[in-house]
Homo-oligomer: A and B are copies of this chain.
Amino acid sequence: MLEAKINITLKKTIADPQGLTVKHALESLNYKEVQEVRMGKHVTVRLDSADVEKAKKSIDAMCRQLLSNPIIEDYSFEIKEL
């Protein structure tokens, strides 16, 4: 069994109104040191497979095909054995 942890983030050039709202909320809670907040997704996928190299290709394809929007998002992932 393998587990992939995928982080999907908005590209730097894309505006993030949700992140801005969270930043303002943190400021109003007196966290004055906050400069920027960006919101993204964290997806955990468990695979019934033992082949890490094959799993890397598979997860990469899932990210491009379904999990992320490559026009506005970047993704990165790491795979570990369970």
Contacts and interface: CB of A to CB of B under 8 A. Distances in A.
Given A22-B43, A43-B22, A48 B35 contact: yes
Given A22-B66, A66-B26, A37 B33 contact: no
A66 B25 contact: yes
A36 interface: yes
A33 B40 CA distance: 25
Interface in A17-75: 19, 22, 25-26, 29, 31, 33-49, 55, 58, 61-62, 65-67
9 contacts: A1-B35, A7-B42, A26-B66, A31-B61, A33-B55, A33-B58, A35-B48, A38-B43, A41-B42
